[in-house]
Structure 1
Amino acid sequence: MKKRLFIILAVLLASSLILPGQASDFVLGIFGNANMDDAIDENDIDYLTGVIDGKNGQTKLSDANYDGKIDEADKLQIEKIILDKAQTLTIVDAVHRNITLKVPARDVICLNIQSAEAMRSLQAKDRIVGITKYIQTDEFFPDFSNVDIVGGKAFQTPDFEQIIKIGPDVVFTAAWSGPQLETINKLEPSGISVIHFDFLDPSTYIDEITKLGYILGCRSRADDHISFYRGVMDMIAKRVDSIQDQNRPKVYYEANKYQACAGGTPWSNQIEIAGGNNIFGTDRGSYPHVDPEEVLIQDPDIIIQLNMSWTGYNRSDASELEAIRDEILSRPELQQVSAIKNGRVYVIGGNYIPGSPRHFVSVAYMAKWFYRERFKDLNVTSIHQEYVTRFQELNFDLSKKGVFTYPPGELN
C-alpha cells in the first residue's frame, strides 16, 4: 500500500485552448463553455453569437452540441444546459477525452475511492450501484456495505462482466495513471460512459466537482460544496499571499523514506497553497528517490512524511505515527538539518486525507505547521468535522475519536 504513489495528470486546459481573455480560476471543460471561463451562462451565448457572426474567434468548447459545426443549434444547446434541460452533455475528463453522455446520470459505478466520496458530497450516494471492494472495506464508507462489488482493490482491474450486467450510465475511474484503455474498450461498446476524475488535486478539484454537478444534475449541491471548499482554501491562500518567497518555510515532503513529492504533484500543490516552498519543487510530476545529502544541502525548515497506510477515523492511539516521526528525527545523516534541530517534523496519516477530496484538511494542517501564529485561530478539527457531518453525512465525532497527524497538539 505504501508503494502506491499517485502520478497526477493535471488538467491544464488553458494551455491548449484558444482563450478569449476572461480571467477565471479555471476553464470549465464542458462543450458550450464558448468563452472559456469557469461557468456556462448567458455570456457563452453572447460569445457564440459573435463566433457565428465572425466577430469572435472559435474556441475548442464552442461546439456545444459536439456535431462538428458552429451554428444556432449550439446556442440552443447552451440554453438547455443553463436551464438544466439538456439531454446530453459533452465533457472533457482528466485525461483529455471528450465524452458525450446522457444527463443526468442516474446509475453510477465508482472504481476509485475519491469519486465515491465526491458523489457523497453532492448527496448522490444513492445513485452509486457498484463499487470496488477497496471502497467497501474502507472505514470512511460504512454506509456502502450493501452496494454491489465490481472489483477488488485495484481500480485498474474491475469485473467488466459484472459492470455490464449492472448496466450503469457512467463508470468513474482515476486519472493519475493515465487513460484506463481496457476499461474504456470493454465498457464503452456497451453504451457505458467511462470518465476519469481524480478529485484530489487543488489545481483541478473545482473543475471536476463542477463537472460532476452537471453530470448528475446536482449543480446547486456542487456549488454549495465548492463554496465551503473555497472558504477554507481561499482563507489560507489570502493569509499567506503577502509573504515573500524568501520568508516562506522550505519543506521536504516524503512519500516514503527519501522518496520526495516533487513539483506538479498534489502534495506539492498543497504545500504551495499553505505558504511553503517544496525543496524538490523543480522536479515536475514525479516521486524521485533523493540522496540524503540533497536534503542536507537544501536544509528544509519542515519535514513531513505521508503514511499512506493510515486511515485514522477509528484510531485513538498515535504511537505508529509517533514511531515514524522518531525515525526521521533520529536519522544521523540529517542531524544538522534545521527541521530536525528545531523539532519541526510532522507525520500525516492517511493517504485519503491529502489524497482525496479532503485534501483541504491537509492544507489546513500544513498552514498551522508553517505559520503557528498566523493561523493560531484556525481550528482544523472543526473544519474537518463540518465536512464529515455536513457533506459526508457520517456520524463520526472527531473530538472523541480520530488520529490523523503527529504531533497532534498544534491543530486546534
Structure 2
Amino acid sequence: LGRQVIITHEPERIVSAAPSITEILFAIGAGDKVVGVDEYSNYPPVVRELVKNGTIEVIGGFSTINIEKIALLRPDVVFLTTGIQEKFIKELVSMGITVYVLSDKSIEDVFTDILVIGVIVNKADNAVKLVEELKARLMKTYLIVHEYLNKTNTQTLKVYFEVYPDYWTIGRDSFINDIIVLAGGKNIFSDVETPYFPASPEEIIIRNPDVILTTAMYGSFGPPENLVDRIKSREGWSNITSVKEGRIYVFKGALEDIMVRPGPRVVIAVEVLARVLYPRAFNISSIPNVIDDSVVKSWGIRLTDGVGELSCIMGSAPETVVLENT
C-alpha cells in the first residue's frame, strides 16, 4: 500500500474489522483492548459474550463497516484487511484515526500479521511464541502426509474448493491454496493468480478433481446433504473422479469458519483437510460427506484447543513503533 504507519504509544482501544484479526488479537493476549469488531467476529466464544454485555461494540459488516461508529469508539488503532476494506482507509485517516492494513493472501501472510500485530499492541513475545507453535503443528501434519505419500507411492490428490455457489473458487493467491498444499493436495486452479473467482463448470470438468470441498454456508442453501446432491447433479459432472468416487465433502459447524478464515486456526484447517484427503495416513477408516465438529473430535482434533485464547502479560510498550504498510 506504500503507507507508513506511526504508532506512538501502546494502543489501549482497538477496533478489528475482520474475524481473523479478532482471533489474532485474542490469541496473543490483547483481547482486553478490543472495543469494536465486525459482525462476523465470533471466536473465541468470549467475543460474543463481550458483545452481548456491551463491552465490545459491533461496527458493521466485513464490507459495510460504520465509520461513525468507529469514530465514537475513539480507537487508538483500527485493523483492516487488504481488498474490499481498503476503501475505508482514506476516510478513517482523515478523521485522525490510525489505520493498519493486513494482508492474508498466504499462510505466511497470516504469520506476518500475527507478528506485526504483536509489535503494535506490545505482545511481541506472545506473537512469536504463537507463530512458532503454529509452524510446528503445520510441519508435523505436513511430514505425516508426505511420509505416507512416499511410502505408499500415492499420487497427490487434485482438489477443487468451492467457496460459494455456483463455482466460486480459489486461485494461487489465496491462503486456502496454502491450506490445500500443506495438507498434501493440489488446488486444480493453482495456476490462476486471482485469489477468488468464478470458474467455468466446463473447466472444472476438464481439470477433473479427485476431491471436491465446500462449506455448509450457514444453511443458506439448505441442509449440507443438499449441497452434496446439488454438486452431484450438475450437468456433465457425473464423470468427474470425485463425483464417481463419492469424495464430495461439506464442512459444517465451527469448520465453516475455520476452513475459510485466515487466522491462527489455519493450523486446524490443515490438520482436518489432511485427514480428509489421506485418512489412511492417520488410521481413519472412512470419511463422511458432511464433516462437523463431532466427526473431527472423533479424529482427536479439538476445535477449541486454546488456539485463539492465549492470555499472557508483557512489559511496557516502546516509545515509538514505525511500521511500513506495504
Higher share of residues assigned helix: 2
Query: What does residue 3 of structure 1 align with?
Result: none
Query: What does residue 97 of structure 2 align with?
Result: 192
After superposition, the C-alpha distances for 1:300-358 in whole angstroms (9 at most, x for unaligned) are 111111344369xxxxxxx8222212222333521111111111111123552123212
Query: What does residue 385 of structure 1 align with?
Result: 304
After superposition, the C-alpha distances for 1:372-393 in whole angstroms (9 at most, x for unaligned) are 1223389765342313585489
Query: What does residue 321 of structure 2 align with?
Result: none
* Residue 166 (structure 2) pairs with residue 166 (structure 1): no
CA contact (8 A) 1:133 1:150 kept: yes
Q: 1:135 aligns with which of 25, 31, 41?
A: 41
Aligned to 1:163, the other structure's residue is in SS state helix
After superposition, the C-alpha distances for 1:247-286 in whole angstroms (9 at most, x for unaligned) are 2001111122222222221222211111111111111124
Counterpart amino acid of residue 76 in structure 2 = D
> More deviation in 384-393 or 344-353?
384-393
After superposition, the C-alpha distances for 1:83-112 in whole angstroms (9 at most, x for unaligned) are xxxxxxxxxxxx453211124222111122
Q: 1:361 aligns with which of 264, 268, 271?
A: 268
Please identify runs of 4+ aligned residues in structure 1 that moved more than 6 A. 136-140
* Residue 138 (structure 2) pairs with residue 233 (structure 1): yes
> How far is the alpha carbon of 1:134 from its aligned partner?
4.2
Query: What does residue 216 of structure 1 align with?
Result: 121
> More deviation in 116-125 or 216-225?
216-225
| Distance 1:257-1:392 versus aligned 2 partners, 3 A rule | farther
Take 1:331 and 1:392, find their aligned partners in 2: how far apart are those partners? 48
| Percent identity for Structure 1 against Structure 2 | 22
Higher share of residues assigned strand: 2
Take 1:237 and 1:386, find their aligned partners in 2: how far apart are those partners? 20
Take 1:392 and 1:292, find their aligned partners in 2: how far apart are those partners? 46
CA contact (8 A) 2:82 2:104 kept: no
Take 1:335 and 1:188, find their aligned partners in 2: how far apart are those partners? 53
Take 2:82 and 2:308, find their aligned partners in 1: how far apart are those partners? 28
Gaps of 5+ in 1: 1-94, 312-318, 394-412
| Distance 1:293-1:355 versus aligned 2 partners, 3 A rule | closer
CA contact (8 A) 2:167 2:200 kept: yes
CA contact (8 A) 2:180 2:186 kept: yes
CA contact (8 A) 2:183 2:273 kept: yes
Q: How many pairs does the alignment contain?
A: 289
Query: What does residue 121 of structure 1 align with?
Result: 27
RMSD of aligned alpha carbons: 3.2
Query: What does residue 281 of structure 1 align with?
Result: 190
Take 2:120 and 2:308, find their aligned partners in 1: how far apart are those partners? 24
Query: What does residue 408 of structure 1 align with?
Result: none
Take 2:73 and 2:50, find their aligned partners in 1: how far apart are those partners? 17
After superposition, the C-alpha distances for 1:182-209 in whole angstroms (9 at most, x for unaligned) are x333332444210112568413111110
* Residue 291 (structure 2) pairs with residue 372 (structure 1): no
Query: What does residue 258 of structure 1 align with?
Result: 167
Take 1:192 and 1:123, find their aligned partners in 2: how far apart are those partners? 23
CA contact (8 A) 2:26 2:308 kept: no
Take 2:48 and 2:232, find their aligned partners in 1: how far apart are those partners? 36
Structure with higher Rg: it is 1
CA contact (8 A) 1:201 1:269 kept: yes
TM-score, normalised by the number of residues in structure 1: 0.62
CA contact (8 A) 1:174 1:198 kept: yes
CA contact (8 A) 1:251 1:278 kept: yes
Counterpart amino acid of residue 110 in structure 1 = S
| Distance 1:259-1:130 versus aligned 2 partners, 3 A rule | closer
CA contact (8 A) 1:132 1:150 kept: yes
Take 2:283 and 2:9, find their aligned partners in 1: how far apart are those partners? 45
CA contact (8 A) 1:252 1:304 kept: yes
Take 2:32 and 2:106, find their aligned partners in 1: how far apart are those partners? 25
Counterpart amino acid of residue 225 in structure 1 = L
Counterpart amino acid of residue 202 in structure 1 = I
Aligned to 1:285, the other structure's residue is in SS state coil
CA contact (8 A) 2:81 2:103 kept: yes
Query: What does residue 99 of structure 1 align with?
Result: 5
Aligned to 2:7, the other structure's residue is in SS state strand
Take 1:126 and 1:211, find their aligned partners in 2: how far apart are those partners? 18
CA contact (8 A) 1:172 1:195 kept: yes
| Distance 1:105-1:191 versus aligned 2 partners, 3 A rule | same
Query: What does residue 320 of structure 2 align with?
Result: none
Q: 1:109 aligns with which of 15, 36, 42?
A: 15
Take 1:127 and 1:200, find their aligned partners in 2: how far apart are those partners? 26
After superposition, the C-alpha distances for 1:91-150 in whole angstroms (9 at most, x for unaligned) are xxxx45321112422211112222111111112111012223443799773222213536
Which aligned pairs between 1:11-410 and structure 2 lie closer than 5 A? 95-135=1-41, 141-145=47-51, 146-149=54-57, 151-160=59-68, 162-177=69-84, 179-180=86-87, 183-198=88-103, 201-241=106-146, 243=149, 247-255=155-163, 256-309=165-218, 320-349=223-252, 351-356=256-261, 357=263, 358-376=265-283, 382-387=301-306, 390-391=309-310
Counterpart amino acid of residue 119 in structure 1 = L
